[in-house]
A and B are shown apart, each in its own frame.
Chain A
C-alpha cells in the first residue's frame, strides 16, 4: 500500500499531467470556480479490462452510484446511452479508464453540450517498475467530493499489476467531465 506521502506525491504529479486539451483541475482554479454546484454524477465509467477499474466500479455501485463498463471502446456507451442522455441536457460523468477513452469522451461531451473535463489524474507506477501503485489516490476522491458533492470514498486497495488482464498498460486516468457555468 502506498503511504500518505505517496498519495500526495501522486496528487502533485497528476496536477501537472497534460491530458488531451491540458485542462487540469488542481491548478485551474478559474475553472473550478465555474463548476455548477450540486450536479450529480450521471454515470461512472470504468474499463472492464482492468481489475483495478472493476474494483473501483464495485465500490461506486456499493455507494449507490450507477456505472457503465467499457472494454476500451466508448462506442456503445456513446451510442446507446450518453448520446441520448446528453440530447436532453448536460449531466456529469466520471470514470477510471485509459487516456484514449477519456480523449473520446471529452471531445463528445464538448460537442454534445459544451461540457469540460474538470478533473483528471493519472495513475501510474511511481517507481518505474511495471507495477501500478497499490492504492487509489485519495486526492482524486477528495477533489471529486469537493467539486461534485460526490460521496467520499475510502482508498481502494488495488491488486498487484501482475493480476491485470494485459501487460501493455502504462497508466489509467480518473476523471470528471461536467457542465460549467459560462462566463
Chain B
C-alpha cells in the first residue's frame, strides 16, 4: 500500500477499500505498487520529488449506481476521491490527483456510447468512451457525422470537455465544453442530477436544448470538484461536402495586425469556419534549422539583430513571408470556393502586397486510410482537421530546437490573450523578457509563441515547459511557471487550464473583488461537499477542512 490519504488511519482505509471491493469486485480495486504507479502523472513536474502528487489506490466502477455507492462509502470514511475519465490529460496533470493520497475513481469501464442521433447530430456518452470509440461507433452506424477531437485521440470527450479542451474542425465544435448538451452528475452526497431538459423525467430533448428552467448549472461541473459526471451529451457536426485550405502571406512585421483582424472578421462572420493557423516562415526559419547546412548565414545574422527593416527586406527579396495564415473552410464545394474568393479579396484590400497560395481541396467522406494519407508529412493537425482520431502527436510532442528529444514530457503555460496583432506583439515582448528574467531558454525565433486561434474571439498562447526529472531543474521550472502566472495576471491575462501543481496559483490570479470567484467556489464546495471528498484542491477549490493546510 503506497500511501494513505492524509488524516485517515490504516484501519479505516482498509475498511473503505474492502467496501469499494464489495461494490465493484476485487478485480477493480487497485492497490499494488505496480497498478497504482500507472496513475502517476508521467509528465509530472514533481516527478521523483517529495511533493509529487500520488494516488493511494484506484477503484473502477462500471455503473452510475456503483459510482453512487463509492461516493457514499467515501463520505462514511472521509476518503478523498479523484475521478478521471480515461486519465490522458497529459500536459495538464494526467491521472494523478491534486491531493496526494486520494483514491482515483477510474471511469474507464463506463465506456458505452449510449446514443447517436444522426437527424439531430447529437450523441450521449459515458466518461470511459474515448474519441476512438465514438469515432468507431459513428462509422459502424454509418452516420454522416463528425466528432471534433484533440491531437491525441485516446482521451475522453467527457474528460476533455470538462477540462475545457479544444479541437480542430468547424467553428464552435472546437470548443468541446461549449458544444456539449446535457450532463448527468453524481453529487457528493450520492444523489444523481441531470442538467438541462434532462431534469424532466423521460426528457425527449436532453441532447437538443442546452438550457433548463432556472439557472444553467452545467458550468459549475467543469474544471471543478462539485460532482462526478457520468453521462454527457454532445453536438456533432454533420459531415460537410468539401474542405479547402488556403494560405495568405504577408511580408511586413506590422502586417500581423490587419492579418489577425481580417481573420477574425472572416471567422466571426462564418465566412471561414475552420481553425486559422498563424505562422512566421521568416522568424521560424532559424528555429527549424538553427545552424544547419540549409540556413542562410545572412538570414541567421539578421535574426540576431533588431534591424527589422533589413529583415523585412531580406524576406521580400527571398520571398519568405514575415507572417502567414492558413484559412480552412468546410462546406459545399461551390460555397467554399466563393467563401475563399471573398476572403482573398478582404485580405488583398486590407494588406498591400499580400500573396495567396491555394492549397489542398478535399471532398468527403474520407476513409480512415485517406485521412492517413492526408496526415503524411504533418505531425500536429492533419487527420484531426476531419475529426479522425489518432496518436501521431506523440512522435514529436513538445520537441523544440532547444530540446530536440524530450523524454519526460512537458506542461503548458497557456494564457488567453486578446485576438489582435497588438496583443500578440505585447504578449511576445512581455514573455520574452520574462523568459530572460527567469532564466528559461529564450525562443530562438524572437517571439515567444504565436497564439492558437481555437476560440472565435480570443487567442491562446501555448508555451511548453519541459519535465527533466532532474529535481533541481524541475523545481526551478516550477518556480518560473508560477512567476509567469503572476506576470500574465499583471497584464490582464489568465490561464485557461493548468496542471494540478499550479491550480492554486492560477485561481489566485483570478483575484477580482478580493478573490470573489474563489470564495464563491468555496461556498458552493462547502455547501454540497461538506466532507470534502470529491477532488479536493481541484482548480484551487479546497474544502473547508483543508483550506490553509
Contact = CB atoms under 8 A, between A and B. Distances in A.
B368 interface: yes
B27 A182 contact: yes
The listed residue with most A CB atoms (<10 A of its CB), out of B32, B34, B88, is B34
Given A73-B392, A73-B394, A75-B391, A108 B154 contact: yes
B469 interface: yes
Contacts of A76: 372
Contacts of B88: 107
Interface stretch (B36-44, B412-420, B524-532): B36-44
B457 interface: no
Contact of B108 (A21, A34, A111): A111
A83 interface: yes
A114 B404 CA distance: 32
Interface in B386-433: 390-392, 394-395, 397, 404-405, 407
A73 B391 contact: yes
B42 A79 contact: no
Interface residues of A, number: 34
The listed residue with most A CB atoms (<10 A of its CB), out of B27, B153, B391, is B391
A108 B153 CA distance: 11
B32 A183 contact: yes
Contacts of A37: none
A99 B35 contact: no
Given A79-B132, A114-B35, A168-B404, A21 B42 contact: yes
Contacts of B32: 182-183
Contact of A100 (B35, B108, B397, B404): B397
B395 A72 contact: yes
Interface in A154-183: 168-170, 180, 182-183
Contact of B368 (A74, A79, A101, A169): A79
A123 interface: no
Interface string B108-128: 100000000000000000000
B86 interface: yes
Contact of B38 (A21, A99, A104, A169): A21
Nearest to A170: B405
A139 interface: no
A78 interface: yes
A68 interface: no
A22 interface: yes
B404 A83 contact: no
Nearest to A108: B154
A78 B391 contact: yes
Contacts of B394: 73-74, 100-101, 103-104
A23 B37 CA distance: 8
A20 interface: yes
A120 to B, nearest CB: 13
B213 to A, nearest CB: 39
B112 to A, nearest CB: 14
A180 B34 contact: yes
A119 to B, nearest CB: 13
A173 to B, nearest CB: 10
B132 A83 contact: yes
A42 interface: no
Nearest to A110: B38
A170 B372 CA distance: 27
A103 B391 CA distance: 11
A110 B84 CA distance: 14
A107 B33 CA distance: 16
A40 interface: no
Nearest to A106: B38
Contact of A75 (B390, B397, B407): B390
Interface in A94-146: 99-101, 103-104, 107-108, 110-111, 114, 116
A-B CB proximity, top 8 nearest: A75-B390, A72-B395, A75-B391, A73-B392, A100-B394, A110-B38, A170-B405, A20-B42
18 contacts: A21-B37, A21-B42, A22-B37, A28-B34, A30-B33, A31-B34, A72-B395, A74-B394, A75-B153, A75-B390, A75-B391, A78-B132, A79-B390, A103-B394, A111-B154, A168-B404, A168-B405, A182-B32
